[in-house]
């Protein structure tokens, strides 16, 4: 059983949760499940730790984050194997996630020593002529972080690294299916020399999690997951600063002048089907100019035909399984619903519980009620549709209630400017897929895709608040 640390000590709980390998369906590890009493101890420890973390000088925060990055690189292969087992992530993508987590902490080390403040002119009127001012950004208080199952290491890192960089303690509730990566990261943070309880990981059930969200001793709540759950938790979060990184339904536009089409199709295939599509910025919809439509569709179908689910630890693994049988059944039902409502299956992937092949659907008319078009599929399904004008394509992209990222393949600066102005998304990627994410950039969306931004420097801005110093010049 993997231990949990609360108040700097290993604690045991009455309840235990098994960790299942999504590929085999078999348990290979277990964790304690914290009850309300353990959770209270963890909150008290987090509040106490904040009094130490907030006083850490910048160099100490920088050095801590650097050591975490170094340890992540040193433990890369064991961590990647944990990701492959608990999340069903193909090993090549698991290795990439560990590398990105190390980069996230390396960025945090640099952010930790950035100046965060300003000297202000306050003598803007005769009444204020004797005043001068300055401000610095200080951590708001302890951070409560809820992480998802699909990136159980790097998306935890994106919540923890900014906290350590700015001097905040953080309590992480990992996804129930994937707690091991977060627990491993907490052990690394302790080994790197963090103050006791600067980072705690608390597997718990929903009732305990909701109690944590309501707790006013946390100043910040950061959540990655579904829009339904995220907005429900925001409603009960009280006075906290809230950051929500929620769902997506990412679209790509392939314009008539799209360059390097073979490379684009390789990228779109990887974006749509890699890790069984369990990425919130995976390509779910592609709108193709009618002049390139046949070429694009035939290329996508040919590539999808080659993809079948494979064991995550296999060197050839690309799809892997979806996280569980229930999600496999859900995705299959959405595909069936779409075909019943008029979508045409250009390639229909195999189905065996949570092992789904790649599916490509074509829509030409009304898509009302097709959840593969309207909602976040989070599975290996792709919908394609032709368009005539860029205005039409942008309108189709914007029809979604989500607005995380989108992509545009074109050589036209005018088309780029138009799409950037019109598309209602948090980010536009040009000549690559909507799955592109640098760990330094401001990442987040609009509409039902969330509130606030991640990316270390931008998360630090969410975790901190300006504190003002006003000085009156004394008479001589």
Q: In this structure, are residues 252 and 287 in contact, taking their beta carbons and an 8 Å threshold? A: yes
Q: In this structure, are residues 147 and 174 in contact, taking their beta carbons and an 8 Å threshold? A: yes
Q: How many helices (H) and strands (E) does the chain have?
A: 15, 24
DSSP alpha helix (H) spans, 215-362: 227-235, 261-273, 293-305, 325-340
Task: Extract long-range pairs of 327-330: CB within 8 Å, 24+ residues apart.
Answer: 327/354, 327/378, 327/379, 328/353, 328/354, 328/355, 328/356, 328/379, 329/353, 330/379
Cβ contacts of residue 439 below 8 Å, gap of 6+?
100, 103, 104, 107, 154, 158, 455, 456
How far from 32 is each of 10, 19, 299, 324, 461, CA to CA, in Å? Answer: 11, 11, 48, 21, 34
Q: Phi/psi at 125 (nearest 5 deg)?
A: -150, 165
Which of 65, 166, 280, 394 is an active site residue?
Answer: 280
For helices 261-273 and 293-305, what crossing angle results, to 10°? Answer: 50
Which of 86, 245, 362, 462 is an active site residue?
Answer: 245
DSSP 387: E
Any catalytic annotation for residue 245? yes
Q: Specify the 3-state DSSP secondary structure of 9.
A: strand
Q: In this structure, are residues 409 and 427 in contact, taking their beta carbons and an 8 Å threshold? A: no
Q: Specify the 3-state DSSP secondary structure of 378.
A: coil
Any catalytic annotation for residue 86? no
- Cα atoms found within 13 Å of the Cα of residue 344, Cβ hemisphere only: 9
Beta 359-362 vs 381-387: how paired, if at all? parallel
Burial environment of residue 80 by CB neighbours within 10 A (0 to 12, 13 to 18, 19 or more): buried
Instruction: Report the distance separating Cα 280 and Cα 406, nearest Å.
Output: 11
How far from 70 is each of 195, 372, 470, CA to CA, in Å? Answer: 18, 41, 41
Structure tokens at 106: 């390396």
Residues marked as catalytic: 245, 280
């Amino acid at each position: 059983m993997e231990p949990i640390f609360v108040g700097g000590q290993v604690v045991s709980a009455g309840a235990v949760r098994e960790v299942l390998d999504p590929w085999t369906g078999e348990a290979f590890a277990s964790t304690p499940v914290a009850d309300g009493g353990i959770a209270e101890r963890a909150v008290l420890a987090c509040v106490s730790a904040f009094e130490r973390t907030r006083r850490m000088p910048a160099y100490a925060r920088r050095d801590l984050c650097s050591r975490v990055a170094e340890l992540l690189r040193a433990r890369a292969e064991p961590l990647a194997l944990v990701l492959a087992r608990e999340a069903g992530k193909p090993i090549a993508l698991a290795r990439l996630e560990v590398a990105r987590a190390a980069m996230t902490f390396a960025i945090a080390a640099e952010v930790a020593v950035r100046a965060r403040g300003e000297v202000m002119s306050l003598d803007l009127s005769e009444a204020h002529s004797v005043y001068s001012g300055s401000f610095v950004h200080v951590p708001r208080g302890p951070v409560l972080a809820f992480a998802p199952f699909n990136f159980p290491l790097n998306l935890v890192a994106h919540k923890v690294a900014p906290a350590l960089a700015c001097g905040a303690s953080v309590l992480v509730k990992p996804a129930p299916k994937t707690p091991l990566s977060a627990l491993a990261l907490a052990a690394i943070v302790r080994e790197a020399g963090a103050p006791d309880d600067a980072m705690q990981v608390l597997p718990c059930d929903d009732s305990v999690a909701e109690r944590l969200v309501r707790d006013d001793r946390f100043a910040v709540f950061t959540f990655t997951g579904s829009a339904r759950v995220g907005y429900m938790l925001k409603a009960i979060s009280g006075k906290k600063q809230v950051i929500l990184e929620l769902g997506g339904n990412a679209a790509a536009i392939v314009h008539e002048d799209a360059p390097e089409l073979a490379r684009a199709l390789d990228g779109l295939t990887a974006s749509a089907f890699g890790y069984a599509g369990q990425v919130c910025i995976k390509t779910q919809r592609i709108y193709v100019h009618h002049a390139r439509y046949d070429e694009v569709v035939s290329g996508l179908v040919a590539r999808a035909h080659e993809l079948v689910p494979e064991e995550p630890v296999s060197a050839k693994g690309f799809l892997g399984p979806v996280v569980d049988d229930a999600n496999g059944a859900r995705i299959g039902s959405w595909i069936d619903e779409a075909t019943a409502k008029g979508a045409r299956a250009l390639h229909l992937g195999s189905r065996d519980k949570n092992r789904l092949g790649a599916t490509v659907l074509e829509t030409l008319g009304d898509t009302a009620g097709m959840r593969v078009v309207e909602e976040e599929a989070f599975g290996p399904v792709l919908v394609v549709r032709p368009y005539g004008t860029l205005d039409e394509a942008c309108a189709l992209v914007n029809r979604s209630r989500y607005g995380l990222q989108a992509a545009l393949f074109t050589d036209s600066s005018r088309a780029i400017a138009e799409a950037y102005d019109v598309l209602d998304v948090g980010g536009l990627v040009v000549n690559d897929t909507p799955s592109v994410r640098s760990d330094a950039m401001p990442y987040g969306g609009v509409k039902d895709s969330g509130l606030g931004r991640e990316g270390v420097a931008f998360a630090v801005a969410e975790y901190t608040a300006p504190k003002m110093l006003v000085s009156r010049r004394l008479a001589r």
